[in-house]
Each structure stands twice: as C-alpha cells, then as structure tokens.
Structure 1
C-alpha cells in the first residue's frame, strides 16, 4: 500500500519540476485514483470528489484535469475501459518503461506491469514494417484476475 501523503508530495514536486502545478482539484482527483482499488471513469471521479471533498466538478473540467495528470505521467488512461488509474510507479524517480495494463473484465481491477525493451523493440519493428508509426506504446489486455476466477469456482 502506498503512503498517500508521500505520493502526493512526490507528484507535487514532479509537477513543479515540469513547470506546472498540482492544484487542489488535481490533487483531489489524483487522490481518488490512488485510493481506488480499480480503474475509475471521469464520472466516477466526479462522484468521488463530490462525496469526499464536497467539490462539484463539471465533466469538461474533470477531463481537463485527467488530461493534465496523464500528460504529467501521474495517471494512465485505459482506452479499452475508458477509465483511469494512478501510475503504479508514480513514486519512483527513474525513467519508466512501456506499461502493459492487465484489466479484469469482472471487477475492473488493474495491474500495471512493464514490457521489456526486447519485446518493445520487436513490436516497434513490426509496426514499422507495415507502414505505421507507434504514437503511444501502451498495451492493454482484458483478463480475469485470480480473485474473480476463485469466486467463480
């Protein structure tokens, strides 16, 4: 389990080092993603901010906040689920490898793992061979987690 205050302080420093600010609303949204045990949609985050902080955010504002957090590499957008998760490696200071997201189709839990450089090199080569250029090398896979498999048995 992550130390919430430590992670938020790290995120704040990260933003300052990149010439931007982690405003109160951005911090509230990031908090929602950090404490959640699953991926959340923009509307679920709007509900979280209203219930937890009494803050009413409009959908357009929420999407702008999520875009900011995504551009700062603090959160990831999961395109398959159209939801967001906090970066698993938000508290480290090294360059991140390419992420692969395992998304449970039953409970929506998400696990972020890194893809090895050799696998990414091969994927990049395959993409280029068919005349495409990789824009955002993020892989997402629909899966079923162990907990959901066990509960189905």
Structure 2
C-alpha cells in the first residue's frame, strides 16, 4: 500500500473511531490534496475536483469538505495565504493540541509544519493576556525564505 492509500486508510479509521463519516466527496478532496504537497486555495482544489470527479461541482461543496477535514485535523487552513495544506502528521496518530507553527517560503511556497513546545505557546498566551488580548488562532505562520531560495539570492 502506498503512502497516499495509507494516509486515506488512517483518516477513515480516525473518522470511524470518532463517529463521523468520511464521505466519498470528502475523501476525494483529501486525495486531491495528498497528491499535491504545496498549499492550495479552495478554488485550485475545486478546479482539480472538477477535472477529476465532477465538472459541475460548486465552491461551497469544496468549502464544506475542507471545513470537515479541518475539524478532524487532516488539513490546515493558512490564514495569511488563504490556502489549505494536508497536516504533516496525518497517519501518525498525532492529534493537535493547538501548538503549531508554519514556516512558509515566500519565494517557492514550500511549507514546513513544526509542532511548537507547549511552554512557548503558553508564554505567548500569557503575554497576550497581559494586554487583555485573546488569540483566536492556534497556529503561527512565519513567512521568509527557505534554505534553497535564500542561497540562490
């Protein structure tokens, strides 16, 4: 079994264990995302879905599937770019506890997902609370240049 099928099997099992349904549409959207390792917009995913499965699919169909996949921690939505990416920990029995950082290359679009230490996240929350600020995101997105792009400048 290849890694794509292993990931899909893991998500099916996770859904079954949590009493939610991975419908064919949701699975097809996840399959499209697993086939492309770069972050994608909902409209890019919609275009692939229309080409591969249903030429009449509408944007709301994809957004609903993406929302479900986000809720089960299979994909992440990048706020700064309005794109979606499959979780790096998919299929590894990982569950998110709200401490994720993304390193995003502004040149090539490469993305690295890194689990943040709880103590660092707690320090950030404490600093925000000192200013009576409550974060509504559990991820930090850091933009810059990856090693390869930085070395080519």
Is the 8 Å Cα contact of residues 49 and 56 (structure 1) preserved in structure 2?
no
The 2-side partners of 1:132 and 1:30 are apart by 35
> Which residue of structure 1 aligns with residue 62 of structure 2?
62
Is the 8 Å Cα contact of residues 46 and 56 (structure 1) preserved in structure 2?
no
- Is 1:122 aligned with 2:97? no
> Which residue of structure 2 aligns with residue 83 of structure 1?
83
The 1-side partners of 2:125 and 2:5 are apart by 38
Q: Could you tell me the TM-score, scaled by structure 2's length? A: 0.90
Is the 8 Å Cα contact of residues 73 and 95 (structure 2) preserved in structure 1?
no
Task: Map 1:1-153 to 2 at 5 A.
Answer: 3-97=3-97, 98-150=99-151, 152-153=152-153
The 2-side partners of 1:87 and 1:94 are apart by 10
The 1-side partners of 2:49 and 2:93 are apart by 28
Q: 1:112 to 1:61 in 2, by over 3 A?
A: same
Q: Could you tell me the TM-score, scaled by structure 1's length? A: 0.90
SS of match in other structure, 2:132:
coil
Q: Which runs of 4+ in 1 moved over 6 A?
A: none
Alpha-carbon distance, 1:55 to partner: 4.9
SS of match in other structure, 2:85:
strand
Alpha-carbon distance, 1:60 to partner: 1.0
The 2-side partners of 1:56 and 1:109 are apart by 31
Deviations 1:16-63 (A, max 9, x none): 222211111111111122121210000100111122334542111111
SS of match in other structure, 2:103:
strand
Alpha-carbon distance, 1:9 to partner: 0.6
RMSD: 1.7
Alpha-carbon distance, 1:94 to partner: 4.0
Any stretches of 5+ residues in structure 1 without a counterpart?
none
How many residues in Structure 1 have an aligned counterpart in Structure 2? 151
